[in-house]
Structure 1
Amino acid sequence: MNISLQNVDKVSALLTLKLEKADYQSRVEKTLKTYCQKANIPGFRPGMVPMSLIKKQFGKSVLVEEVDKMMQEKVNEYIRDNKVNMLGMPLPNEEKMQPIDFDTQEDFEFVFDIALAPEFTAEISSADTVDYYTIEVSDELIDQQVKMYTQRAAKYDKVEQYEDKDMIKGLLAELDENGNTKEGGIQVEGAVMMPAYMKNDEQKAVFNGAKVNDVLVFNPAVAFDNNEAELSSLLKIKKEEVAGVKGNFSFQIEEITRMVPAELNQELFDSVFGEGAVSSEEEFRAKIKEGIAKQFESDSDYKFLVDVREYLVNKIGKLEFPDALLKRIMLLNNEEKGEAFVAENYDKSIEELTWHLIKEQLLENNAIKVEQADVMNMAKEATRIQFAQYGMLNIPEDVLENYAKEMLKKKESVEGLVNRAAESKLSAALKAKATLNHKTVSMEEFNKMFE
């Protein structure tokens, strides 16, 4: 056996593998002996089939299979052992790869085109200045968060007179053209509405100042702008039946419920952050601000890596790639989409490949490795953020861990978490090395950077 790699240019090479009969013969014979032991051929007892018959029936297919397996093993072994920085996969060279005749040949030569990664140096040092954006936690954001917590812990009081954003419950009945209850028409007992969510202001105004036991007349189709989902839910009918309902309805109010936000007291503080964690409104707001700032930090780090990417791509300059070869590989991976897909998406794929190569080099140069504990911590952090979106901050550690373990059972989740953990570590490493140009921006200004 002989295997060699010859560079065609800086970013492509030819890998040639020559196999002689002595290289693969023992493997072929071993497989044929297994066939002898297992073959079930009429007229012969198991294990007693003559080798000559086995070779006649299976010899060629076994030869093809074993040569192919050996070829793949040796090519992969050579690439791994010699640390060939290959892109994609080896492709048979269309000119030098001769057709193989397994009936007559005993020696085989395989010639592959190899796409090589371009050589470059990606590094960040104090000589490199990169913007780092700190998102300002405004009083308005804190107020919104405080309001959310007081509403989540709100109580609901029964009241006698309707005010904006109250919820009403009662008997809903379809009327005929004369304003009487329609015989056989739609009637919903215990119907629940919040007039504040009506789309039409005139219909919304019908309920202003209404009291328990009042009977009001309104038009649901007009009130909710013919929204199928809302009308279907309110009238308890199928969506396809909504279009046929255009007339007025009566609504006899049986109950008015008003949400009363929780007070800013110790009970609320304890429910949000745990018993005794904060003891005043000032501390409560400070803790909220700290939590928002922590969430914003991950956004800032993400933006930092985006800027590092742009900075290094410009610093390194345009890299040379074996375009024709990479397009062949891309076409093989997307055969059903055809050449038009390759032509349309190739440049974008090269942009992503360039950043991938830069990032891999940065990870290696900074000795960044993602351990199982890193993935678990990232899963717990993702779970913590999900709970925080619903105002649940004081989540026990065992609950976070159980949710994280469930997340790690999904392969696609694990891949995403590994990537996030790697980028988190990389961001921390590069922030420590680069000269950061600190800038404080509002949340609105920050979001506009991604438009």
Structure 2
Amino acid sequence: MEISLDKHSANQASVKIKLNEADYQPKVEAKLKDYAKKANIKGFRPGKAPVSMIKKMYGTSVLVDEINDILSSSLNTYLKEQTFRILGDPLPVFEDADKIDWKNQKEFEFEYKIGFVENIDFKLDDSLNATAYKVEMSDSELEEAIANLRSQYGKMTNPEVSEENDFIYGDLKSEDGSFEKTFSLPLSKVEKKSLKKFVGVKKGDVIEMDPSKAITEDLAQTVGVEEDEVSKLSGKFTFTVQNINRTELAEFNQEFFDKLFGPDQVSSEEEMRSKVQEIISDNYNKEAAVYSDEQLKDKIIASAKIELPEEFLKEWLFKANEGKVTTEQVEKEYPIYAKQLTWTLISNQVAKDNDIKAEHEDVIEKTKEMIREQFASSGMGAQMEDSMDMFVDNYLKGNEGQNYMQMLTSVQNDKVLAFAKEKAGVKEETISTDKFKEMLEN
């Protein structure tokens, strides 16, 4: 057997394997003899059929199977001995496959395309200039959040006369009769100058309006038409009031507190405000932590300048998911895959160089945290903790063990990121929610 490597570029190569008769024939003969011992062929007692007959019947299929086994094991062993890191799986070259004469040929040559990376060098110091962001919620945002909760849990009423922030249900008609629609109009979406027409009205009143000027926010969605129909909502219209809907804000009482947080978790307005602020701030800062981690990863990836075998990887992704994706989809998703792959290479290198390992106990704890978060708003805290071991065991055994492996990878990634933050001297910065939203948009 001869195995040779031909590098086409810094990250792509081909591996050629030449087999002669001595490499495969002993295994083929042994397999055919084993077939003969077990064969049950008409005209012969079980296991007494001549080997020559067995060879004629099964010789080619056995030869193909044995050569495939030899190729697979030999290629894997050869690639493991190399210093570079193989990406994806070797891709067989089928150009001359139809020319193989399995019945008469004695020597065979096979070729595989491979993609790899040689060295993985990256920065892990304060030159990365990385920042961990903490989001601070303003008093006005807290008041707005509480007002929204009071509205959400408030009581719906139907007053006689409308006020600002009511919903007016009625019929919208164009002057020429070409358009008619019944819908509920939130007065919060009415332009300020036009709002006075809608305040102080009662059931049966008729309001003259130009929808395109009066409703300045989400016109199509508000009226309930498709975007291509918006052009019809310009000119003289009438809106006939059928009903007025108003939400009375929920009072600060135990019933409201229990609806928000569960029975007897909060007993005063002060506690409620503190709890709302804590929950919203926690949500913002979880999002900020993810954002900060991604920014750090991007900086480390950029410092590495790892050149992936793009052409090879796209071909491999298409063939590995054959029938499930198109070449257009592979092209579109490749940048995301390339970033994930590059970070995985770096993360594994950091873990290897610094003996960072995900222990079984870490996997258990991270799974518990995930389950607690999922059940956080269900009010099943005590019952869940009593059955936590069962929840954890069921989850980690699910998906044929893939859940455990994914959680193991996640734990290692967390440890690598924690190590990277320490080495990079990540600075902390407190920002407003508006600033954070702006950063997310950009």
The TM-score normalised by the length of structure 1 is 0.67
1:118: how far off? 2.3
2:345 is matched with which residue: 357, 365, 382? Answer: 357
Identity of aligned residues (%): 22
Instruction: Provide the secondary structure at the position in 1 that maps to 2:134.
Output: strand
User: Which of 328, 331, 353 does residue 315 from structure 2 map onto?
Assistant: 331
| CA shift for structure 1 position 210 | 1.3
Q: Deviations over 1:273-301 (max 9, x none)?
A: 33443333333222223223322332333
Matched, 1:303 2:291: yes
Q: Is the 8 A contact 1:304 1:427 kept in 2?
A: no
For 2:346, give the aligned amino acid. I
Q: 1:164 Cα deviation (Å)?
A: 1.8
Deviations 1:209-258 (A, max 9, x none): 1124x33254686566896665458xxx9x99x969998556353x4332
Residues 1:67 and 1:268: Cα distance change in structure 2 (over 3 Å): same
Say if 1:362 and 1:263 are closer, same or farther in 2 by CA, change over 3 A: farther
CA distance in structure 1 between the partners assigned to 2:18 and 2:141 by the alignment: 69
* Matches of 1:86 and 1:312, distance apart in 2: 21
Per-residue deviation, 1:439:
1.5
Please state if 1:251 is matched with 2:235. no
Q: Is residue 115–residue 313 contact of structure 2 (8 Å, CA) maintained in 1?
A: no
Aligned letter for 1:157? T
Structure 1 residue aligned with 2:429 = 439
Q: 1:259 to 1:244 in 2, by over 3 A?
A: closer
User: Relative to 1, partners in 2 of residues 1:315 and 1:83: Cα closer, same or farther, differing over 3 Å?
Assistant: closer
Q: Quick one: distance in 2 between partners of 1:395 and 1:107?
A: 71
Residues 129 and 70 of structure 1, relative CA distance in 2, 3 Å threshold: same
Does the CA contact (< 8 Å) of 2:83 and 2:118 recur in 1? Answer: no
Cα distance in 2 for residues equivalent to 1:94 and 1:143: 68
Match of 2:28 in 1: 25
Looking at structure 1, the residues matched to 11 and 94 of structure 2 have their Cα atoms a distance apart, in angstroms, of: 18
Question: Deviation per CA, 1:20-55, whole angstroms, max 9, x where unpaired?
Answer: 134531575279659954x8x9x9999999865664
Corresponding residue for 1:396? Answer: 380
Deviation at 1:442, TM superposition (A): 1.6
Q: CA deviation at 1:138?
A: 2.0
Give the deviation of 1:64 after TM superposition: 2.2
Counterparts of 1:94 and 1:12, CA distance in 2: 18
How far off its partner does 1:154 sit? 0.8
In structure 1, the residue matched to 2:120 is 120
Segments of 5+ residues of structure 1 without an aligned counterpart are: 388-392
1:160 aligns with: 160
Which residue identity does 2:282 align to in structure 1? Answer: K
Contact in 2 for aligned 1:133/1:304 (Cα 8 Å): yes
Compared CA separation, residues 245 and 399, structure 1 to 2 (3 A): farther
| Paired residue type of 2:380 | P
State the match for 2:134 in structure 1.
Answer: 134
**Is the contact made by 1:130 and 1:436 (CA closer than 8 Å) also made in structure 2?**
yes
Q: What letter matches 2:32 in structure 1?
A: E
User: Are the equivalent residues in 2 in contact too, given 1:206–1:216 (CA < 8 A)?
Assistant: no
Q: Cα distance, 1:161 vs. partner?
A: 1.0
Aligned residues: 416
Q: Is residue 59 of structure 2 the alignment partner of residue 59 of structure 1?
A: yes
Q: 1:266 to 1:198 in 2, by over 3 A?
A: closer
The 5-angstrom pairing of residues 26-45 of structure 1 reads 26=29, 28-29=31-32, 37=40
| Maintained 8 Å contact 1:32/1:62 | no
- List gaps (5 residues or longer) in structure 2: 320-325
User: After the TM superposition, which residues 282-321 of structure 1 pair with which residues of structure 2 at under 5 Å, given as runs?
Assistant: 282-313=270-301, 316=304, 318-319=305-306
Per the TM alignment, residue 357 of structure 1 is displaced from its structure 2 partner at its CA by: 0.9
